Structure 1
Amino acid sequence: MSRKMHLAFILGHGPSQHSVAAWTLPRAYRGFTYAQPAFWEDLGRTLERGCIDMLFFADVYGVYDVFEGRPDAAIRYGIQFPLHDPAPLVPLITRATRGLGVGISVSTTYLPPYYTARLFSTLDHLTEGRVAWNVVASYGRSAAAQFSMAQELSKEERYARAEEYMQVCYQLWDSWDPDALVMDREAKVFADPAKVRKIHHQGRYFQVEGPLDVAPSPQGRPVIIQAGASGPGMAFAGRHAEIHFATSASLDGMRRYRAEVAQTVAQAGRDPADVRVLWATSIHVGETEAEARAKEAALRDAVPPEGGLALMSGHFGVDFSAVPPDRPLEELGLQETPGMQGVANMLLRDFPGLTLAEVARIYGNGMGGLRVVGSAAQVADRLEEAFEAGGGDGFMFRCGELPGSVTDVVELLVPELQRRGRFRTAYAGETLRQTLTED
């Protein structure tokens, strides 16, 4: 029997996703607005119809203001701005569905661990066990400035803080024994005090007394997602990730990266098979190849010339407005960026020899990674090839305009993958962890 793929979508709670100015396209937000419940309820039901594993929300604090030293380009073109808080969407979407999971990004750099542990336990109850946490060690001067920090932390300190943060959250989630709830009406005993403990954490960054004031939730703790690919980020993923969100534009790059993930996980004393790798994939599918290519061209043509540069500046912490457009990629200083090192590594690995202008066009049109365009059969062929050759467990789709590009996947691609035995036809598990670990 063929190994089955896991499929998820990565979005943001705002008008603009990973392709700059996709919100301007004719099929974008027709009859809906991203700021209202009806849009997300409808999108959740569409994803559920396709048996998609998870809807995953990326998030950013503040506004990208590195390009030209000001936020004008991000505000003008809606470059991942505005972004609303995704946490309230979790129970909203899961009440409209029965099997779809929802993941959200929450930072270990700015928010206290007690708050985060409490939030995710609460959401796990409200979703009946269908929530995931994308652990983010946030970067960026603009984000730091929103949380009373004069400057951003170094990458090493961000991950040192994140490591202690996780230990605090684990202790809080484990501060209740599974059988601590008694709920004996006659004896008037709600919970056994001997089975609910303070944690007395005294660390370098945090002092947390505990216990957590939320009863044990269906999953016990959220599914842990991680996308870090710098040295510290990869080591962190090796210790904690259940789902690793990875980026590569080539099959050879996928193979090499998957081997690195496996090695890192093994070095942390874990089984590499316990970490599922989902590849970032920009996808355009149509009834015909010509239709799909027309959709891709419309998305590409919508990107303003400054769009990719401004997005890259925000992600990598380099003002590319001051860099000659014909400068080679290898001379842009991305080998050691304070920002998204994993994406920078992907660009350096998969697009050697391109100039800044050429890379910016790619970046503004979906940030790189695997790109697949064609009819349902053609896209399925390419995904099957990448699935087998790349060594991953599935794909995290970056989409174009919403909700049209999601509907295209559900109505055109999913039936083709199901026909080939490559994707489920119904949810088997009750929790998101069970769905994501299903073979």
Structure 2
Amino acid sequence: MSVFLVFVGVALILVLMVVLKIDGFISLMLAAIAVGLMEGMQLNAITKSIYNGIGDQLKSLILILTFGAMLGKLLAESGAAQKIANTLIKKFGLKNIQWAILLTAIIIGITMFYEAGFVVLIPIIYTVAAETKLPLLYIGLPGIVGLAATHAFLPPHPGPAAVTVVFNANMGKTMLLGLPIAIVAATLLGVFYARTNWVKKINAVMPAGLISTNQLKEEELPGFGISILSALLPVFLIAISTIGELLLAKNDPLQIYLGFFGSAPIALFIAVLFAMYFLGIARGMKMDEIAKINASAVKAIAMIVLVIAAGGAFKQVIVDSGVANSIKAMTMGLQMNPYMLAWFVGAVIRIAVGSSTVAVTMASGIVLPLLSTVGISPELMVLATACGTVFCSHVNDPGFWMFKEYFGLSLIDTMKVRTVYSSLLSITGLIGVLIISAIL
């Protein structure tokens, strides 16, 4: 019954937003309360779930989104994003610009969490789209899918890293097996899916306030070196921290410092300070101008933050209502290939609870006994479980709303693009796992 009520909640959101035209934040809050009541939760329990869901969703994400918006706006207003875009277009050409964005996304995504990588990459996507006059999704989808693939298949991202620990798998081997799957999946979906008529028919719009209408002359632009360093500084800091995690003990004093400066919010904060000086003050910009740029960036993402927060509330109500127990009962005794079963359990939980990180945590506990099967690779089980939990992103996934708002899409169009590409990414990942298991 619990799983059925999740689908009722999803249907309610569709009615509220598509039929009644109510905005996403209000619709998600109403659906969260309605699902809680239908699940038999007490009113105080529903309230607690909503508070916890919003808090858990925004505890570090609010800083990532805020600093990311500031950095993006500084890159745009200073001309740094324009310089990066012009250089990519010049080096790769219009014909290969999708490959340039995809490559950039994979490099960023190997070490950077999805949300942080998203807000770093999005101003470059906006500027390339504006400069080339190409459709926003044609430019943006390779980047977003590249980030999604690395997030789904590679430790140290939260999902794969968590399952690696539960399954006692080797993290280095998991990364080596996951990287080719991530690259192939990102290439197939990021480039070729973006060129299909299915995607071409959908019109994405850049949100007002996050792009610059001020086009500078080439001689007015900052240098490429300082522009790319400003954009990728968070990536470098996080990469150094990740290397430290692999080489140093957790309580090593050096790793404590690396972990602090390499955490996504702090890394983005440092990048904002760096950009304020080197892209602003050092190039003659007054501090009050910089303050206005930062303020306008924060105003532009206010509704995006609220919608993502409400998505977290809706997800938490579903989690707290006991959906996991229903799913566990459904999957007990199924006779399937262990990798396929791990993927299936992950996919079912993902559809029900939304958050891939929550889903992978739940799924790992359910499929853990499968590791006793002879010939099963713990590393491939990590990948099978993790790629199952990116299947079918829809309205109970906060990342769904992030994608929707930053690309200015309708709810239906977001489902056509995000839900489809996440499902295809998940299935491609499973095929990759099965091929590797057959070879090994």
Instruction: Compute the TM-score of the two structures, normalised by the length of structure 2.
Output: 0.23
- TM-score when scaled to structure 1? 0.23
Please identify which structure carries the higher helix content.
2
